[in-house]
């Protein structure tokens, strides 16, 4: 376990150098996350780190336009908040411990909620319209 933590720590440190300007990995309650993708260039750069996160959220209007400044709250099955953050773009990435979660996205005064089952084997992808 200690080696795994060290590897994860070193990996997350290495990621920061590969991120586009203005996008930085942050954390909420020791859960790493990053967001962005306002421009096509940012989205292209974020695609390079896509596989490093097991959860990807996307925020868009039904007409296809993207949202930013989205309040994101993730709760575990017991209703405990495990992450609370603001997405600075339409794409939001995080690394969660495998399990079941409730993901809430609040934008323009409306809250949308989805259930998510997160695993280590594949990325969980949720879209909020």
pLDDT of res. 125: 95
Name the token pair of 8. Answer: 């994860």
Residue-wise pLDDT tens digits, 6-19: 334 434 444 444 56
| Helix then strand then coil, % of the chain, to nearest 5 | 20, 45, 35
For 10-14, 57-61, 91-95, 120-124, which range has the lowest pLDDT when averaged over its residues?
10-14
Cα dihedral sign, 51-86-15-43: positive
pTM of the predicted model as reported, rounded to 2 decimal places: 0.82
**Nearest to 34, CA basis, from 2, 1, 12, 65:** 12
CB atoms within 10 A of CB 73: 17
Residues in contact with 128: Cβ distance below 8 Å, sequence separation at least 6, in sequence order:
57, 58, 59, 60, 70, 105, 107, 112, 114
Q: Quickly state the pLDDT bin for 24 (edges 50, 70, 90).
A: confident
How large is the average pLDDT for residues 20-28?
A: 79
- Specify the 3-state DSSP secondary structure of 93: strand
Residue-wise pLDDT tens digits, 28-81: 989 999 999 988 888 988 998 889 999 999 999 888 888 889 999 999 999 999
Q: Quickly state the pLDDT bin for 20 (edges 50, 70, 90).
A: low
pLDDT of res. 11: 40
């Amino acid at each position: 376990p200690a080696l795994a933590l060290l590897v994860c720590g070193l990996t997350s440190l290495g990621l920061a150098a590969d991120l586009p300007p203005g996008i930085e990995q942050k954390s909420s309650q020791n859960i790493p996350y990053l967001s962005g993708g306002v421009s096509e260039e940012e989205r292209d750069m974020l695609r390079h780190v896509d596989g490093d996160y097991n959860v990807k959220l996307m925020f868009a209007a039904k007409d296809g336009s993207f949202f930013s400044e989205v309040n994101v709250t993730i709760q575990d099955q017991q209703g405990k908040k495990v992450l609370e953050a603001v997405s600075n773009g339409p794409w939001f990435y995080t690394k969660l411990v495998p399990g079941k979660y409730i993901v809430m996205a609040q934008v323009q005064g409306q809250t949308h909620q989805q259930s998510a089952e997160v695993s280590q084997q594949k990325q969980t992808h949720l879209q909020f319209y």
